[in-house]
Amino acid sequence: MGERPSDGAAVAATHHSMLANVLNSPSLVKESLIHSYGKSFNGFVAKLTDKEVARIKEMDGVVSVFPSAKIGLHTTRSWDFMGLPQSDTGFSGEGEVIVGLLDTGIWPENPSFSDEGLDPPPKKWKGICQGANNFTCNNKVIGARFYDLENSSDPRFDIKSPRDTFGHGSHTASTVAGQRKNASYFGLAGGVARGGVPGARVAVYKVCWAGGCTTADILAAFDDAIADGVDILSVSLGSSEPTPYDEDPIAIGSFHAMKNGILTSCSAGNDGPFRRWVSNYAPWALTVAASTIDRSFITKLVLGNGETILGNSLNSFELNGTSFPLVYSGDAANYTFGVGPDIATWCFSGSLTPLRTKGGVVLCNALNSFTWIEGSMGIIMPSPFEMAIGFPMPVALINFEDHSRVLDYIKYTENPTATILLTEAVKDVMAPRVVSFSSRGPSPISPDILKPDITAPGLNILAAWSPLGGASASFFDDRKVEYMVISGTSMSCPHATGAAAYIKATHPSWSPAAIKSALMTTATIMDPRKNEDAEFAYGSGHINPLKAVEPGLIYDANEADYVDFLCREGYNTSVVRLITGDNSSCATNSPGKAWELNYPSFALSLLDGESVMAVYVRTVTNVGSPNSTYYATVSIPPPFTVSVEPSVLSFSQVGEKKSFTLKITGAPITNTPIISGSLEWSDGKHVVRSPVAIFNNIALTEEDNQPLRESQYKRFEGHSTIYHKNGIFKNMQRGYGREESWESQYKTWKQMARH
């Protein structure tokens, strides 16, 4: 990739010429060239050998070459919980906001995407509607494109159009901008489903298929979305591998979006609760963690001895309180099929003998979507996570401690029995708290930028769905639903996107950094007693859309600020130009701290025993009252001291800027996970809060960073059900403490069953 293009046709001609020189044959260019990016940045995708790649790298004007790879999806009471009631949404300004979503597409016939009451699209819209395979747009879904540059689609699961066959894209789109519609999941979570900005327009860019979401498709979608005229971008996908900014398609695409006044909202990833696994950590993007809302689901498992155990599945099947024989799967191995007790405990379809399981409730040792026990009345499975998951039969998901209790009950009871009750919706008085699967910081490559930025609802979210996406996590479920309850940072990201769109509708001229700052500095303070990872889990706090519309002060930043950040991170001029697509340059290649970036939060990454002396220079812009005075309040536990100079900022007009310096001093610390503090600016009406996080971190040397340069995005494993595609089932394996995943166990069982 090189400088920003000025003429798409000329850029494409240049790409053809470059390839012709490398391939030594103009006739081979058409076969090699997959796609030219020429609307928002300069680059192309081509099929090349290693030798041809080496020749491309040596050509003048080429900044960098990296392989295309695959990354994965991260997938309504929530808006009320965040303090954005229906009465505050749907105002006329929303209709001018266009939200672009890079995802699995959309199911346009879903009631949430009705254009009832909407005027024609805004005049600024320049996009198209690719109406392949009976797909149509309307005044809600005003644009749709699909990309399959590397043939990732699979005709068994995919439709060659913007149509959503998985449900993930429909779910995220309706969370952002869905129309108000009565909805439920088989009677559960009933009520009005709506987006944060129900009057906003939606433009979908389908980049994810059964085979994954490729770098080439993602970059093409960013290129088009920027040119189409979207205002906010929502990206609920990402890599689990640490990746340098110049090789990360989302970092590159979101940088170009930022240059064009577009904020990109990204999911933090589903690799929690382990630290340093946060995804999408570019400072110009908004990184969103996942947290709970004040509604949770419980499914009661009642044992024959009268004991009641609380589970968290989504069970809509009525057993009328009748108790049935309780059977342990390990005691019901199908020896006729060559299955022993170890495999039987996983409860794969066909692995248990009906002689023992028919008419009973079966206790399994693992949670998986291949579980189907013909003739049984219900299934009990352990789950390490908080999410409620549906199945096409009565299922109770319980924690591992309760699983051991149920197993003991079976072992020491002559005729054990059990029943599974209907799922109930209950109030969660502990909300909000960050869910365990949400990826944690610090940033693996820029630890002095606190990530994630913010948290938003991501657990058990009801939203629109595709009828082709399945009705539960099970492979054996052929039911169809219009609305689905799922969990993930994929669900929290569009909540933040909707809040950002709400601000954009109110303040159309605000920059991406201004919108991001407003969301971060007005966030609701989270309770660290419920979240031991503190700011690494929730960033600045829980999103508060109504307060974010009137933040008082903002921390603004532009392209030059981010270029300076990249230079301080050690990127040279040629690499920076790959990201920026223009003639940006670094005054020096000497790495430095990221403390100079005008970021709305403060992070101090220290080596064990390192002396503490950090200086941050920040500039705030007045967007509140014309004549106002803000007073600083800082808090930090010992052994640190935080000072602010000046501690009083006086403004005489809107748009006026004032700078200050924050200093952190203190004794060296060792093996300290995180120390939390804060800086607040208040004028008596507004409170502008920034978290201050101090922690010990590992040294990042050039040798440490080398694996980042060589890393590849992991291809998504699993199949079409959503909990495989967003990676949550993959991460559940960590809770089992087993060396071999259930998917590997299933393959072993299938091989055995063939013989």
Q: How would you list the strands of the sheet with 208-209, edge to edge?
A: 208-209, 212-214, 70-73, 237-238
Q: Where are the beta strands (DSSP E) in 538-611?
A: 553-554, 602-606
Answer yes or no: 168 catalytic.
Answer: yes
Q: Enumerate residues 6+ apart whose C-beta is below 8 A from 586.
A: 563, 566, 567, 571, 572, 573, 576
- Which helix or strand (DSSP H or E) is residue 57 part of? helix 50-57
Choose the catalytic residue: 68, 254, 369, 490.
490
| Token code pair at residue 637 | 């536990």
Burial of 589 (0-12, 13-18, 19+ CB in 10 A): exposed
- Distance separating alpha carbons of residues 382 and 368, to the nearest angstrom: 10
Answer yes or no: 103 catalytic.
Answer: yes
Choose the catalytic residue: 15, 35, 74, 168.
168
Burial of 88 (0-12, 13-18, 19+ CB in 10 A): middle
Whole-angstrom CA distances from 173 to 99, 167, 342, 519, 593 are 9, 10, 43, 20, 38
- Distance separating alpha carbons of residues 309 and 413, to the nearest angstrom: 17
| Token code pair at residue 444 | 């693996």
- Distance separating alpha carbons of residues 748 and 733, to the nearest angstrom: 17
- Distance separating alpha carbons of residues 250 and 256, to the nearest angstrom: 10
Choose the catalytic residue: 36, 103, 228, 741.
103
Cβ–Cβ under 8 Å, residues 709 and 247:
yes
Rounded (to 5) percent helix, strand, coil in the chain: 25, 25, 50
Residues in the chain: 755
The amino acid present at 319, given as its one-letter code, is L
- Which helix or strand (DSSP H or E) is residue 403 part of? helix 400-411
| Token code pair at residue 617 | 């220079």
- Distance separating alpha carbons of residues 209 and 566, to the nearest angstrom: 32
Answer yes or no: 490 catalytic.
Answer: yes
DSSP letter at 371? B
Residues with a catalytic annotation lie at: 103, 168, 490
